[in-house]
Amino acid sequence: MKYGYFDDNNKEYVIDRPDVPVSWTNYLGVNDLCTVISHNAGGYSFYKSTEHHRVTRFRQNGIPLDRPGHYVYIRDDETGEYWSVSWQPTGKDFTKAKYICRHGLSYSKFQCSYNDIEAEQTLFIPLGDDVELWDVNIKNTGSKPRKLSVFSYLEFSFHHVEIDNQNLQMSLYASGSNYGDGIIEYDFFYEPWTYHFFASNFNPDSYDCVRDSFIGNYRTETNPAALEQGRCSNSSELGGNHCGSLHKKIFLQPGENNRLIFMLGVGSREEKGKAIKQKYSNLQAVDSAFEDLKNYWIKKTSIFQCKTPHKGLDTMINIWTLYQAETCVVWSRFGSFVEVGGRVGLGYRDTSQDVMGVVHSNPEKTKFRIIQLLRGHTSMGYGLHLFDPDVFEPAENKLPGVKLPTVVPKQNIADIVHGMEDVCSDDALWLVASICEWVIENGELNFFDRVIPYADGGEGTVYEHIKKILDFSAKYIGANGICQGLRADWNDCLNLGGGESAMVSFQHYWAIEIFIDSAKQLGRKDDVIKYSKMAAKVKVACEKELWDGEWYIRGFTKKGIKIGTNKSEEGKIFLNAQSWAVYSGVASGERAEKCMDAVDKNLYSSYGIHLVLPAYSKPNDDIGYITRVYKGIKENASIFSHPNPWAVIAECKLGHGNTAMKFYDSILPYNQNDIIEIRQAEPYSYCQFIMGKDHSAHGRARHPWLTGTAAWFYTAVTKYILGIQPSYNGLKIDPCIPSDWNEFEVERKWRGAIYKIKVKNPEGVEKGVKSILLNGKNVNGVIPIQDKGTVNEVEVIMG
Ligand code: GLC
């Protein structure tokens, strides 16, 4: 069953049946103000932080789904009938009204056609202003003149989400609303930097700032009292629940249309509201802000564009997977319909990995994130697992504090630097690769010399930070010479403590090799020797201790019991132990082939590869929380999406283009567009996990958007399947494709030059490059870095 389709020309996903099984969301805003919005205009806005600076309210996980939202209602003033431009909240019968939602890159458009009125509401946040614009266009397509009323509606939230949800004796009396100059102001009397406003490009005929006046008692957003009355009651109050409703009467002759702009912004009426109202009352300013946003995404997406025989791959890589990866870098894991404000800050491993995927399309933000992560890095070598980067910002960059009139313990650095008990063994290792990838992409070798403080005091160059990361993993090894698992490794639910994690040792090897490549570039010969020895030692330990005959084990408990061995009753084979053995470069030859064959044989399903099988059913705290999760869900034997691209990369490293594509295709959301009755979640976004075969809802996808899957699939496809890899010396081209691909094209912008790459595969191979022509001349090995401003034709023959 399907509910929509991909419209590549407009870079949109079009939902033409809005009764989808779960909320299908989109993200508006790419800087500080953000709205997470569903296909039914439900959702909420926040400014920088979902915890501390909410703008509009959301009743998460509530019924009806997705309420409240950012709604526009239309009322026929002659009959009193009313409806919303998005299907919800009024929910008209589909046989009478036609609804479409178009989720685009940083905007969403709702279209409704009902009773000879065509209406459209486009929501977006301009690049340069902290305001959400609702561009509303209403057209009379009938033959009679129409008298209509248009109403906006949103519900304001107290800025601090926990207080908004749990401490009503405060939230209901510490914020108020007022109306003046056509602008609603939501005021925080004691905190003037937290005001919000809601304005429009017209002089309202009536307004409501008080939620309960607009909705009325014993009613919902489906049947607000104001819509039945045909006007708002001009309410405002100090204290209570507040909303933004501006009402305008319009008269439309047949064929005539009217465009209304609503503006939800951060700041007070005086400081921001008036100027914004004036600016965006000019429709040209709205149009050009929308154009700028479109161009912003055209610029990003044009850095890597591919044309292959696989339409779904093209759509996802050229548009959606990049967009999802960018969204993760900007909003980390703290703003969605799942993460609604209780867990903010940066997850060390998550952000380090997100960064890696978009070093090319977002060099500024990724550099900024890398610096934040380095400031959250300790002189012992570990990273702070989940931390608020603002704490480590130099004083001049700090946000104004959230000064609550209640007692809040002051944060003190010594409490934040949590110590070994809370250290995850993998966190900082990811950052090594992110930094090196960033430097390779952007060519700023001197970034390694930049001095950055440690979270616990002192400072070091970026290069020194990296060495501390690698030395930490070399130091914290267990009885078998494999890295200790500590509180957790990549798998949050494998809590091995002093037991050992195969994945971390593989990751350690991988990070050392990446570092050595950079150390060579920098001419640090002593370090090349030292860390080559370290890598060799790690490899020997892995090969000696982790091979199980058919595949690699996942580690050891602190009592020395093997995890993920053929002899285990449950949790026999883990995906990451195999994919990382190969991806890291530790495994080669027969073992590498065998362990990936074991993945295909034991873990593959038509919805993706399982993280582990069989699922655990007996709690075992030596292994960890994974054994206490329901079978087939999340870390306990679901198809956890994030590790799937590692299997694709591993297959590419082995030269198995057909299997790599089989793995890619199995989990590709695009391919599940027509089985939404099973998948449920949006087909344009990877989800954190898909229920595994041991669950009754096998194939159901959950937790869209904020997952490291996006960055990693972007990497797996662009660098390993299509094989376009920037390196210190030039552009390496080493594709690994299905044998039935005859050719494909990539246009890549890198360090100011354009490479138009045509790859031909006359012999139907999966891997191997026979020849490369750069602007008609033969090239051996990598393509040398070309001058800025040049356009270069590259022809690659596989064979
Ligand atoms: C979640 C966490 C991530 C972790 C993964 C596996 O996605 O955000 O940090 O690696 O689960 O446990």
Which tokens hold the place of 159? Answer: 């800025």
The residue whose CA has the least distance to atom 10 of ligand 1 is 490
Full-model pTM: 0.97
CA dist., res. 160 & res. 165, Å (int) = 9
Instruction: Tell me which of 213-227, 257-271, 402-416 is least confident.
Output: 402-416
Helices (DSSP H) in 210-273: which residue ranges? 211-215, 225-229
The answer, yes or no, to whether residue 176 has pLDDT greater than 60, is yes
CA–CA distance, 281 with 171 (Å, rounded to integer): 33
Contact between 198 and 268 (Cβ < 8 Å): no
Phi, psi (degrees; rounded to nearest 5) at 624: 130, -170
Probe target for ligand 1 pocket from 495, 642, 712, with the most ligand atoms within 8 Å of CB:
642
Output the pLDDT for position 78.
98
CA distance 531 to 514: 11
Specify the amino acid at residue 419: G
Backbone angles phi, psi at 454, to 5 degrees: -90, 155
pLDDT score of 126 more than 80: yes
> What's residue 401's pLDDT?
54
Provide the pLDDT confidence category of residue 410 given band limits of 50, 70 and 90. low
Q: Is the pLDDT of residue 351 over 80?
A: yes
Torsion sign over Cα 455, 457, 463, 465: negative
The two tokens of residue 472 are 């930490």
- The pLDDT tens digits for 205-220 are 999 999 999 999 999 9
Pocket test for ligand 1, best of 333, 350, 352, 686 (most atoms within 8 A of CB): 350
How much is the pLDDT for 411?
62
Provide the mean pLDDT of the chain.
96
Whose CA is closest to 232, among 218, 222, 247, 221? 247
> How far is Cα 105 from Cα 633, in angstroms, rounded to an integer?
31
Ligand 1 atom with minimal separation from the 350 CA: 9
Instruction: Judge if the beta carbon of residue 703 lies within 6 A of ligand 1.
Output: no
At which residue do the structure tokens 């246009």 appear?
747
- Cβ of 635 closer than 6 Å to ligand 1, yes or no, is yes
What does the pLDDT average to over 568-577? 98
* 307: amino acid identity, one letter: K
With tokens 């989990």, the residue in question is: 667
Phi, psi of 182 (to 5 degrees): 80, 10
pLDDT by residue (tens digit) across 392-405?
Answer: 888 776 655 554 44
Tell me: the pLDDT tens digits for 508-517?
999 999 999 9
The C-alpha atoms of residue 206 and residue 540 are separated, in whole angstroms, by 76
- For residue 693, the tally of other CB atoms under 10 A from its CB is 19
Q: Which residue shows structure tokens 């990539």?
A: 746
Q: Indicate which residues carry an active-site annotation.
A: 492
- How many other C-beta atoms are found inside a 10 Å radius of the C-beta of residue 422? 14
CA distance 534 to 513: 10
pLDDT in tens, 90-110: 999 999 999 999 999 999 999
Question: CA separation (Å) from 223 to 83, 97, 185, 269, 523?
Answer: 9, 17, 25, 30, 71
CA of 688 to the centre of ligand 1 (A): 8
Q: Is the CB of 694 under 6 A from ligand 1?
A: no
Whether 491 lines ligand 1, by a CB cut-off of 6 Å, is yes
Instruction: pLDDT band for 416, please (50, 70, 90 cuts).
Output: confident
SS3 assignment, position 745? strand
- Helix (H/G/I), strand (E/B), else coil: 501: strand
* pLDDT computed for residue 192 by the predictor: 81
Rounded to the nearest whole angstrom, what is the distance from the C-alpha of residue 466 to the centroid of ligand 1?
23
Cα distances from 645 to residues 506, 580, 600, 709, in angstroms, run 16, 11, 14, 7
Mutual angle of helices 502-521 and 525-545, in 10-degree steps: 160
**Tens digit of pLDDT for each residue in 9-30?**
999 999 999 999 999 999 999 9
Q: 169: exposed, middle or buried (C-beta count within 10 Å: 0-12, 13-18, 19+)?
A: exposed
Q: Which two tokens stand for residue 561?
A: 């019991």
Burial class (CB in 10 A: 0-12, 13-18, 19+), 65: middle
Identity (one letter) of the amino acid at 77? D
Is 641 near ligand 1, meaning CB less than 6 Å away?
no
- Of 702, 563, 590, 709, the C-alpha closest to 641 is 709
Res 403: pLDDT: 46
Choose the residue to mutate in 343, 387, 492 for probing ligand 1, maximizing ligand atoms within 8 Å of C-beta: 492
Burial of 636 (0-12, 13-18, 19+ CB in 10 A): buried
Give nearest CA residue, ligand 1 atom 6.
491
pLDDT at 393: 83
- The helix (H) or strand (E) run that includes residue 661 is helix 657-667
Percent of the chain with pLDDT over 70: 98
Nearest CA to ligand 1 atom 9: 350
Predicted pLDDT at 409: 52
Top pLDDT among 364 and 409 is at: 364
Ligand 1 center from residue 490 Cα (angstroms): 6
> Which pLDDT score is estimated for 388?
87
Q: What is the pLDDT of residues 432-469, one digit of tens each?
A: 999 999 999 999 999 999 999 999 999 999 999 999 99
Give the length of the chain: 799
DSSP for 388-412, please give it: -GGGGS-GGGPPPP---SS--PPP-
Tokens encoding 455: 């979270």
- 270 CB within 6 A, ligand 1: no
Residue 715: other Cβ atoms inside 10 A: 23
Two structure tokens written together for 481: 């010479």
User: Directed axis angle between helix 644-653 and helix 589-602, to 10°?
Assistant: 140
Ligand 1 nearest atom to the CA of residue 493, by list position: 12
Could you give the CA distance from residue 190 to residue 635 in angstroms, rounded to a whole number?
Answer: 45
List Cβ neighbours of 78 (8 Å cut-off, separation of 6 or more).
Answer: 146, 147
Which ligand 1 atom is at minimum distance from the Cα of 707? Answer: 7
> Quick check: helix, strand or coil at residue 702?
strand
Q: Cβ(349) to ligand 1 under 6 A?
A: yes
Q: Whole-angstrom Cα distance, residue 71 to residue 221?
A: 9
Summarised one tens digit per residue, pLDDT across range 473-530 is 999 999 999 999 999 999 999 999 999 999 999 999 999 999 999 999 999 999 999 9
Q: In what order do the strands lie in the sheet with 117-124?
A: 4-7, 12-15, 98-104, 107-114, 117-124, 131-140, 257-266, 196-200, 183-187, 176-180
Quote the pLDDT of residue 398. Answer: 66
The verdict on the CB of residue 688 being under 6 Å from ligand 1 is yes
Q: Which residues of 541-566 are buried (b: 16+ CB within 10 A; e: fewer)?
A: bbeebbbbebbbbbbbbeeeebbbbe
**Cβ density class 586-621: b for 16+ within 10 Å, e for less:** bbeeebbebbbbbbbebbbbebbbbbbbbbbeeeee
Ligand 1 touching residue 350 (CB < 6 A): yes
Cβ 489 under 6 angstroms from ligand 1: no
Task: Give, in degrees to the nearest 5, the angle at Cα 50 between 49 and 51.
Answer: 90
- State mean pLDDT over 110-120: 98
Ligand 1 mean position to 492 CA, how many Å? 6
Contact at 8 Å (CB) between 37 and 123? yes
Cis-peptide into 64, omega within 30 deg: yes
For residue 688, which atom of ligand 1 is closest to its CA?
7
41 φ/ψ angles, rounded to the nearest 5 degrees: 65, 20
φ, ψ (nearest 5 deg) of residue 285 = -65, -35
The stretches of 88-216 forming alpha helices (DSSP H) are 161-166, 168-171, 211-215
Handedness of CA 623, 629, 631, 632 (dihedral sign): negative
Does 347 sit in the ligand 1 pocket, CB within 6 Å?
yes
> Is the model's pLDDT at 258 over the cut of 80?
yes
**CA 474 to chain CA centroid, nearest Å:** 32
Rg of the Cα atoms in the chain: 28
Residue 40 carries which side chain, given as an amino acid letter? N
Note the pLDDT tens digit of each residue in 718-771.
Answer: 999 999 999 999 999 999 999 999 999 999 999 999 999 999 999 999 999 999
pLDDT for position 101: 98
Confidence of residue 342 (pLDDT cuts 50, 70, 90): confident
pLDDT at 390 (0 to 100): 84
pLDDT score of 672 more than 90:
yes
Report the nearest atom of ligand 1 relative to the CA of 333: 8
Which ligand 1 atom minimizes the distance to the CA of 349? 9
25-28: strand order across its sheet: 25-28, 33-38, 43-47, 49-54
Q: pLDDT tens digit string along 47-85?
A: 999 998 999 999 999 999 999 999 999 999 999 999 999
Torsions phi, psi for 51 (to 5 deg): -90, -45
Strand partners, 351: none
DSSP 93: -
What is the mean pLDDT of the segment spanning 645-659? Answer: 99
